[in-house]
Chains A and B, each alone.
Chain A
Amino acid sequence: MITMVGKSIRRWWALFALPTFAAFIIGFLLPFILGVYLSFCKFTTVTDARPVGLRNYRVALQDKEFWHAMGYTTAFTIVTTIIINVVAFAIAYMLTKAFKGTNVFRSVFFMPNLIGGIILGYVWLLLLNGVLAHWARSITYSSTYGFWGMVMLLCWQQIGYMMIIYVAGLQSLPTDVIEAAEVDGANGRQRLFNVIIPLMMPSITVCTFLTVTNGFKMYDQNLALTNGAPSNTSELVALNIYRTFYGRIGFEGVGQAKAVVFFIIVAVVALIQNRLTSSKEVQA
């Protein structure tokens, strides 16, 4: 049923809803639809598109470098998601206890998150190459070096962000449940694993969701730190797609097809992951 307020507001659509929706069409909807269409075409700009059926997808899926980037990104996402969430939770758990300086420590851990990916990439390039110089090597020595370099970088950047979310979650836990567990004789570890962690599942859902999507979509840090070197082996999917688009003339359609595949994977992973962790949520 529509309310009185709703009725009068509806007439004001041109002022309230139209500006956002018009920008949304230009900035998202039209590019998205056009992008799906172009993935079935051969083109160099938007206007000279010519349908070629599934050819782009065939080329994209036969590209070994694309599959390598996929595997590399998946491994990267799994490793960073685990490290970031475990460390962020541990730090948050400690920093909600009573000792001097917890607020200062929280601020320090959060700070790297505000700095952009490109800037962070060069900060870590200095540090990692400085360390590796002792063995006369650099971050581009092999894709394994690049992998762990990017893992360190992303962990450093995101642990603080996830920590803030975990701190907020821990502070809003019902204290009576935890006290009841203590009265019943549960020790510290039992309280943590059997009471606190199950109650924290909403926060854990949010944080794993964010870390999984951030890991999958990472581009700036990859570009600044390794730029895919040596010979494209440290390429994450986002960089691989970019280079297919802009690195080789005539491969725009293949790039767009890769982007569609990438979008579907991100969407499916996000949905599955969300379903999985939210099914573990409990009510206090």
Chain B
Amino acid sequence: MNDEKEIDASERVHHPWAWTVFFTILSLIWIYPIVLVFINSFKKKVYISKNAFSLPNKDSFAGWENYTTGIERTNLIGSFGWTVFITVGAVALILLCCSMCAWWIVRVNNWVAKLLYTLFLFNMIVPFQMVMFTLSKLADMLGLNTPWGLWIVYLGFGAGLAVFIFTGVVKGIPQELEESAMIDGASVPRIFFNIVVPIMRPSIISVAILETMWIWNDYLLPYLTLDLNKYKTMSIAVQYLKGGYGSVDMGAMMGCLVLAILPIIIFYLICQKYIVKGVIAGAVKG
């Protein structure tokens, strides 16, 4: 209780240890659903539906079988590769094109720029269902039903948020720096990449995180747009495990779920600081 005196008055709590205990229990409850999936991934499928809460024992232990059948049935490794390919490419393209576009919009600031900005804002309130049919048909016609074609589709549909955040940042950058570089004879692309981009760096990381979270987990857009005979993302692969008659091989499902969740948790542990910053930056859009 001694250190309580050093804390600011408004921050004081009674019985700090009791709160620690309370939140420890709550945290354990919070991660329980994921732990439950992990435990069940080592049980034979009959035992999963019979009693999901029992630990694996001599009879029910399935070893790595759920993982191997899960990977075989869904080609999970392949779809993991495509998900990485689509996400990394689309996010890189969004960052590059939208930061350039945002800078152009703010600095030019004529009626064209203002119209563009309004259209991008409008994009943020339109639900995907509004365009899902026409977008998927159009992508099909233009040959964009491939993973690299999806980069362009994501750039188009995801431009709103990225341009919005970036224009907010560029508005706060004083023009004097760019002006003096221009007087020194630097070309426009050089000014952008050598002066503007370094200043925008924190917001670029934030947007990268937000767009990654969206595209990695997206289901409906790639499901409708991609040529599913050739390419699947992780979410699509997991959904495909559900048979046509609503029957699910819960064993293989558990294996796939663990394999889908694991990379996300690893990514989270590595980039936690940036993820939290990204979420806060994205929230400013209200």
Binding site for B on A (CB under 8 A): 2-6, 8-13, 15-17, 19-21, 23-32, 34-35, 38, 45-46, 94-102, 104-105, 107-119, 122-124, 126-127, 129-130, 133, 156, 161, 164-165, 168, 175, 178-179, 182, 191, 202-203, 205-207, 209-210, 213, 216-217, 219-220, 223-224, 227, 229, 238, 241-242, 245, 252, 255-256, 259-260, 262-263, 266-267, 270, 274
Which residues of the other chain, A, contact B247 by a CB distance below 8 angstroms?
A: none
Determine whether the beta carbon of A35 is less than 8 Å from that of B12.
no
Determine whether the beta carbon of B13 is less than 8 Å from that of A98.
yes
Stretch binding the partner chain, chosen from B56-64, B74-82, B200-208, B264-272: B264-272
Which residues of the other chain, A, contact B265 by a CB distance below 8 angstroms?
A: 111, 114
Q: Please, which residue of chain A has its CB at the minimum distance from the CB of B238?
A: A118
CA distance A256 to B19 in the complex (A): 51
Tell whether A156 pairs with B30 under 8 Å between CB atoms, given A99-B17, A127-B52, A267-B125. Answer: yes
Choice from A16, A38, A245 contacting B100 with Cβ under 8 Å: A16
Which residues of the other chain, B, contact A263 by a CB distance below 8 angstroms?
A: 126-127, 129-130
Tell whether A32 pairs with B220 under 8 Å between CB atoms, given A99-B20, A227-B246. Answer: no
Give the residues from 1 to 53 in chain B that come closer than 8 angstroms, CB to CB, to chain A. 4, 7-13, 16-17, 19-20, 23-24, 26-27, 30-34, 36-37, 40, 48-53
Which residues of the other chain, B, contact A260 by a CB distance below 8 angstroms?
A: 130
Is B226 interfacial (CB 8 A cutoff)?
Answer: no
Q: How many residues of B contact A (CB 8 A)?
A: 111
Determine whether the beta carbon of B105 is less than 8 Å from that of A17.
yes
A9, A220, A242 — most chain B CB neighbours (10 Å): A9
Choice from B110, B216, B260 contacting A2 with Cβ under 8 Å: B110
Given contacts A27-B157, A127-B52, A207-B283, 9 further A-B contacts (CB under 8 A): A2-B108, A19-B97, A19-B101, A98-B4, A99-B13, A99-B16, A133-B51, A179-B10, A262-B127
Determine whether the beta carbon of A178 is less than 8 Å from that of B10.
yes
Nearest CB of chain A from residue B19's CB, rounded to whole Å:
5
Determine whether the beta carbon of B127 is less than 8 Å from that of A100.
no
Tell whether A126 pairs with B133 under 8 Å between CB atoms, given A12-B104, A97-B11, A107-B272. Answer: no
Choice from B24, B129, B159, B250 contacting A23 with Cβ under 8 Å: B159
Determine whether the beta carbon of B152 is less than 8 Å from that of A23.
yes
Residue contacts A-B, CB under 8 angstroms, 19 given:
A3-B175, A15-B189, A20-B98, A20-B101, A20-B155, A24-B119, A28-B160, A34-B138, A46-B141, A105-B26, A118-B219, A119-B257, A133-B51, A168-B280, A182-B9, A213-B125, A220-B219, A220-B220, A256-B133
Is B123 interfacial (CB 8 A cutoff)?
Answer: yes
In the A-B complex, list the 4 residue pairs whose CB atoms are closest, starting with the nearest: A27-B156, A130-B52, A116-B217, A206-B286
CA distance A28 to B155 in the complex (A): 10
CA distance A213 to B216 in the complex (A): 20
Choice from B30, B158, B248 contacting A109 with Cβ under 8 Å: B30
Choice from A11, A98, A130, A178 contacting B16 with Cβ under 8 Å: A98
Determine whether the beta carbon of B154 is less than 8 Å from that of A9.
no
Q: Please, which residue of chain B has its CB at the minimum distance from the CB of A97?
A: B13
Which residues of the other chain, B, contact A15 by a CB distance below 8 angstroms?
A: 100, 189
- Taken residue by residue from 216 to 256, chain B's Cβ proximity to chain A (1 for < 8 Å, 0 otherwise) reads as 11111000000000000011001100000010101001100
Determine whether the beta carbon of B129 is less than 8 Å from that of A241.
yes
Is B135 interfacial (CB 8 A cutoff)?
Answer: yes
Determine whether the beta carbon of B138 is less than 8 Å from that of A96.
no
Determine whether the beta carbon of A119 is less than 8 Å from that of B129.
no
A25, A102, A168, A207 — most chain B CB neighbours (10 Å): A168
Q: Please, which residue of chain B has its CB at the minimum distance from the CB of A265?
A: B127
Tell whether A252 pairs with B125 under 8 Å between CB atoms, given A20-B163, A104-B27, A119-B238. Answer: no
Choice from B12, B27, B103, B216 contacting A116 with Cβ under 8 Å: B216
Determine whether the beta carbon of B175 is less than 8 Å from that of A5.
yes
Determine whether the beta carbon of B104 is less than 8 Å from that of A13.
yes
Nearest CB of chain B from residue A275's CB, rounded to whole Å:
12
Is B188 interfacial (CB 8 A cutoff)?
Answer: yes
Choice from B120, B133, B189 contacting A252 with Cβ under 8 Å: B133
Tell whether A28 pairs with B157 under 8 Å between CB atoms, given A12-B189, A20-B100. Answer: yes
Is B131 interfacial (CB 8 A cutoff)?
Answer: yes
CA distance A152 to B203 in the complex (A): 33
Determine whether the beta carbon of A35 is less than 8 Å from that of B286.
no
B49, B113, B116, B125 — most chain A CB neighbours (10 Å): B125
CA distance A112 to B30 in the complex (A): 9
CA distance A207 to B275 in the complex (A): 17
Tell whether A123 pairs with B33 under 8 Å between CB atoms, given A105-B27, A133-B52, A206-B283. Answer: yes
Tell whether A126 pairs with B98 under 8 Å between CB atoms, given A101-B20, A116-B216. Answer: no
Q: Please, which residue of chain A has its CB at the minimum distance from the CB of B105?
A: A17
Q: Please, which residue of chain A has its CB at the minimum distance from the CB of B278?
A: A164
Is B118 interfacial (CB 8 A cutoff)?
Answer: no
Nearest CB of chain B from residue A166's CB, rounded to whole Å:
10
Which residues of the other chain, B, contact A164 by a CB distance below 8 angstroms?
A: 276, 279-280
Q: Please, which residue of chain A has its CB at the minimum distance from the CB of B188?
A: A12
Which residues of the other chain, A, contact B19 by a CB distance below 8 angstroms?
A: 94, 97, 99
Which residues of the other chain, B, contact A165 by a CB distance below 8 angstroms?
A: 279-280, 283
